[in-house]
Structure 1
């Protein structure tokens, strides 16, 4: 395990099943730092083949800035249960309703953040009902379907899942070198051993359904722009999944804050966690400031 792979959760962090009206979801819930007033609660949604552990390096710096962070495994991801062979259970609208239920279970308005596929699910949730949320941050998550090269990789994965078991597919992924959207980076979440265990925890139907979503997602930026929420588009300086220029344009259309993290690619939360955490907290601080100013008027 490399030195970046290990991290110690902040004191008080809890891993537990969050009970909601739509079932239980595995979460890592990290409090604000001792002596720091809580400014808000953040719900963090991982990407394709990802999990709540992808946000492990963000908890402590965000807690130091006054934000309680709750990272979740979506339905059929890693430690959250779901049907193994019913793809309809993972339709985007179903996953979006899960997010609304998670926010409701937390009992407060939350800042919503989605990475990659998680960003598109977060967008779908906001389009269903925006009132539970204080803001929406899209991290390395584009306006529509993923790039042609990544579509080909996802198609290879989906084809493999049709004829092989999860462990056989894992060995094939390792042999070809996993791209960001099929396997994810090992550092920051416990190394290859945890990646392997996480992969085996995913439900095949979830991977098949969400992989198809990534390859067919329509452009819903105009719909999202009509929602009265503050938006933030954050990415690395380079991204093969959605070209950075597409993210730039999306941010303009959303009138969103735009942050590019130097030295990061598709997973800035793992590649450059401290600059990413600072940029996120700065945005959420601005949302709170704007609310205070509005209330004074």
Structure 2
């Protein structure tokens, strides 16, 4: 689970609804003081939200870029139905195309983890709305075996338990995994009320369906590599237990993509090292 340091947006960002041809989506819309050099559309990962990019918004604005971080359908503050067909990868990819159109593209597209795979599907449907494409900690196919087991367990729990009970189970599991000095009466970081509130507002159907996608996603790297001209960028932390870093290195090579490794970050460089990650994105956009 991603852990944004705060849910309070910076002064340069406005929390609002983005109206599109496929409905309204909750966004954080951050703008520079002057005319923007470009606009970025930022998609979060599994169980995440637009707040996962919150610490990057101000440095991106200072670099001259407008950045729009979005809650996808059924994520946190964006409503979603109980119909599983609403969360197929194709449906979510078409949401991304509608978001880019509503923002007034073309845009720099950034997808973190699951958001990267949904973004990839959008690019393969229609690359015209995008100036560049950055895959952040998002690999070529299904997630690692260890993460597959966790996602399967979560999906099974969501199918039979209410969201608040699943949250309690996650907390208990995290407490068992925590170092000994944090187990005796000290709440894990995931116990923050803002994280709990976000979890409870996710649509469980969305989590079940997109979790299944992570388990079966095929390798579509060659398809993406054939999309030209579209500059591509692969960003990750120095460690990643969802897609191993050597796998991400190899994917970047197959794509002919720029490769950036953020030292000191793991699966979420956007929250682990937001300043360095924002600088890497802006440098890539500056050249494209």
TM-score (structure 2 length as normaliser): 0.92
Distance in 2 of aligned mates of 1:122 and 1:162: 26
Aligned with 1:49 (options 12, 28, 47): 47
1:8, distance to aligned residue in structure 2 (A): 5.5
1:127-182 alpha-carbon deviations (Å, 9 max, x no partner): 00000000000000000000000000000001111111000000000111199xxx
Residue 278, structure 1, aligned to residue 279, structure 2 = yes
1:192, distance to aligned residue in structure 2 (A): 1.7
1:9, distance to aligned residue in structure 2 (A): 3.0
Distance in 1 of aligned mates of 2:151 and 2:7: 30
Distance in 1 of aligned mates of 2:6 and 2:43: 21
| Residues 1:17 and 1:8: Cα distance change in structure 2 (over 3 Å) | closer
| Residues 1:168 and 1:8: Cα distance change in structure 2 (over 3 Å) | closer
| Residues 1:125 and 1:276: Cα distance change in structure 2 (over 3 Å) | same
1:186, distance to aligned residue in structure 2 (A): 5.5
Q: What is residue 133 of structure 1 aligned with on the other side?
A: 130
Aligned with 2:80 (options 79, 82, 100): 82
1:106-128 alpha-carbon deviations (Å, 9 max, x no partner): 11210000000000000000000
Runs of 4+ with deviation above 4 angstroms: none
The answer as to whether partners of 2:105 and 2:129 remain within 8 angstroms in 1 is yes
Distance in 2 of aligned mates of 1:270 and 1:140: 12
1:5, distance to aligned residue in structure 2 (A): 2.8
Q: What is residue 16 of structure 1 aligned with on the other side?
A: 16
Aligned with 1:164 (options 140, 144, 161): 161
Q: What is residue 183 of structure 2 aligned with on the other side?
A: none
Distance in 2 of aligned mates of 1:7 and 1:82: 21
1:38, distance to aligned residue in structure 2 (A): 1.4
1:87-120 alpha-carbon deviations (Å, 9 max, x no partner): 1110000000000000000112100000000000
| Residues 1:6 and 1:211: Cα distance change in structure 2 (over 3 Å) | closer
Distance in 2 of aligned mates of 1:26 and 1:7: 14
Distance in 2 of aligned mates of 1:8 and 1:162: 32
1:37, distance to aligned residue in structure 2 (A): 4.2
Secondary structure of 1:9's aligned partner: coil
The answer as to whether partners of 1:48 and 1:117 remain within 8 angstroms in 2 is yes
Unpaired stretches in structure 1, ≥5 consecutive residues: 180-184, 288-297
Aligned with 1:106 (options 103, 106, 119): 103
Q: What is residue 114 of structure 2 aligned with on the other side?
A: 117
Map 1:1-297 to 2 at 5 A.
Answer: 5-6=5-6, 9-32=9-32, 34=33, 36-84=34-82, 86-177=83-174, 192-228=192-228, 229-287=230-288
Unpaired stretches in structure 2, ≥5 consecutive residues: 178-187
The answer as to whether partners of 1:5 and 1:186 remain within 8 angstroms in 2 is no
Distance in 2 of aligned mates of 1:8 and 1:168: 26
The answer as to whether partners of 1:92 and 1:121 remain within 8 angstroms in 2 is yes
Q: What is residue 290 of structure 1 aligned with on the other side?
A: none
Secondary structure of 2:236's aligned partner: strand
Calculate the aligned-residue CA RMSD, in Å. Answer: 1.7
TM-score (structure 1 length as normaliser): 0.89
| Residues 1:45 and 1:186: Cα distance change in structure 2 (over 3 Å) | farther
Q: What is residue 181 of structure 2 aligned with on the other side?
A: none
Distance in 2 of aligned mates of 1:263 and 1:69: 24
